[in-house]
Amino acid sequence: MPYQINDECVACGTCAEECPADAIEEGEEKYVIKQDECTECGTCMEVCPVDAVVEV
Backbone angles phi, psi at 44, to 5 degrees: -60, -40
Q: How many domains does the chain have?
A: 1
Spatial neighbors of 9 by CB under 8 A, at least 6 apart, are: 29, 30, 31, 50, 52
The answer to pTM > 0.75 is yes
Which domain range does residue 35 map to? 3-55
State the pLDDT at residue 14: 98
CATH code of residue 49: 3.30.70.20
| Closest CA relative to residue 15, chosen from 46, 44, 53 | 44
State the pLDDT at residue 1: 76
Looking at every residue in the chain, the average pLDDT score rounds to 97
Q: For 25-42, what is the mean pLDDT?
A: 97
Beta pairing class for 31-33 and 53-55: unpaired
